[in-house]
Amino acid sequence: MTLRLEPRTVPSPWMGILSPVIALVVTVLAGGTLFFALGKDPGSVLSVFLLEPFHGVRALTELGLKATPLILCSVGLALCFRSNIWNIGAEGQFLVGAITGGGLALWVTAARVPLSPWAFFPLVVLAGAAGGAAWAAIVAFLRDRFHANEILVSLMLVYIANLLLNWLVFGPWKDPKGFNFPQTMSFSAATALPRVFPGLRLHWGVAVALLAAFAMWLFVFRTYRGMQLQVGGPAPAAARYAGFSSRAALWTALLISGALAGIAGAFEVAGPMGQLTPYVSNGYGFTAIIVAFVGRLHPLGCVLGSVLLSMILIGGELAQSRVGLPSAVSGVFQGVLLLALLGCDTLTLYRPRWSSSR
């Protein structure tokens, strides 16, 4: 007897719903096995990963703080992937948004501009969106004008953005009183993002992220323009026959995705960090790719996926300090989750069948 996969006539709707759940269960089981092999108690380590990020108000606010950039980046990436535009460079757009948002905060601090945090809030959103969209526009232009592969272009631009950030914090923007550390001066109180709860780090950028996810849901599923993007991605010939512009779809998806990633970067700099350093991002742009697929490329699913990945990231940090696990554990969890999800998605399109071998 051999196990074969036969194509389904109609994709299984139940597997499409259960696939992320099964992938999460497989990831937890694989993680428990890994912890046991490392000589740790799987139950206690898994409780650190799965329960501690939800333990108390402070933990929940930190979870929301970690999820905010993931929501913004993943929602934009989901739009690109639905449009068959493979933007792998959200990390670079995040960094450029951090540069433009941080540059604005640095100017407000140095010039002592009399602004309140609520007046600065929309300005940093615009600055981050402009930086991220401009970086994504390079990808759109090269794809549109020269038919360059957007996967390679967007990925290479991540390294260029990182080098640009390093040049700024090691050079012209370096704090002269910072004891030679590669960082800007700390931003003034006028640039601090308004906090949701006094004394806690969660800022109102989380509301912007949730509104962006809801607005993206309306755009994709309730507007004619969103329908054009969904048709033009998987079926460009049909889109051309219907009179839809593939160029407009390319520019729209990339600019929106880049703007959202740039806002996430600006929030990270003006929010929890309070200054610009070479370590602005913890890989949010790359993690958001996993989030987008865990969320089934659905804007509201990306919110749930962001909470899940934020739980893994925070759990990995806690596991380092409390259990003594290496920092790579979070990356292993993310990788296993993505592989398990891709494997489970196979069952959406294929049906396992046992057949007698001759």
Domain residue limits at 183: 68-295
Residue 332: predicted pLDDT: 87
Instruction: Please give the Cα distance from 100 to 66 (Å, whole number).
Output: 21
pTM to 2 decimal places: 0.92
Number of structural domains in the chain: 1
Going by pLDDT thresholds of 50, 70 and 90, the confidence category of residue 233 is low
Q: Number of C-alpha atoms within 13 angstroms, CB side, residue 60?
A: 6
Mean pLDDT of the chain: 90
Query: Does residue 198 form part of some domain?
Result: yes
The distance in angstroms from the start CA to the end CA of the chain is 9
Is residue 331 included in any domain, yes or no?
A: no
Residue 8 lies in a domain: no
Residue 4 lies in a domain: no
Position 26 in a domain: no
pLDDT, average across residues 18-41:
88
> For residue 259, is it within any domain?
yes
| pLDDT tens string 67-126 | 999 999 999 999 999 999 999 999 999 999 999 999 999 999 999 888 899 999 999 999
What is the 3-state secondary structure of the chain?
CEEEEEECCCCCHHHHHHHHHHHHHHHHHHHHHHHHHCCCCHHHHHHHHHCHHHCCHHHHHHHHHHHHHHHHHHHHHHHHHHCCCCCCCHHHHHHHHHHHHHHHHHHHHHHCCCCCHHHHHHHHHHHHHHHHHHHHHHHHHHHHHHCCCHHHHHHHHHHHHHHHHHHHHHCCCCCCCCCCCCCCCCCCHHHCCCECCCCCCCECHHHHHHHHHHHHHHHHHHCHHHHHHHHHCCCHHHHHHCCCCHHHHHHHHHHHHHHHHHHHHHHHHHHHHCCCCCCCCCCHHHHHHHHHHHCCCCHHHHHHHHHHHHHHHHHHHHHHHHCCCCCCHHHHHHHHHHHHHHHHHHHHHEEEEEECCC
Name the residue with tokens 């006539």. Answer: 9
Is a pLDDT exceeding 80 seen at residue 357? no
Q: What percent of the chain has pLDDT over 90?
A: 59
Could you tell me the two tokens for 123?
């300005």
CA angle, residues 136, 138, 143, in degrees to nearest 5: 100
pLDDT tops 60 at residue 358: no
| Structural domain contains residue 197 | yes
Residue 9 pLDDT > 60: yes
In a domain, 258, yes or no: yes
When pLDDT is cut at 50, 70 and 90, the band that residue 263 belongs to is very high
Is pLDDT of 234 > 70?
no
Q: Is the pLDDT of residue 222 over 60?
A: yes
Asked if the model's pLDDT at residue 141 lies above 90, the reply is yes
Regarding predicted confidence, which is higher, 160 or 317? 160
Residue 179 confidence (pLDDT) above 60? yes
- Please determine, for residue 38, whether its predicted confidence score (pLDDT) is greater than 80: yes
Distance separating alpha carbons of residues 64 and 267, to the nearest angstrom: 13
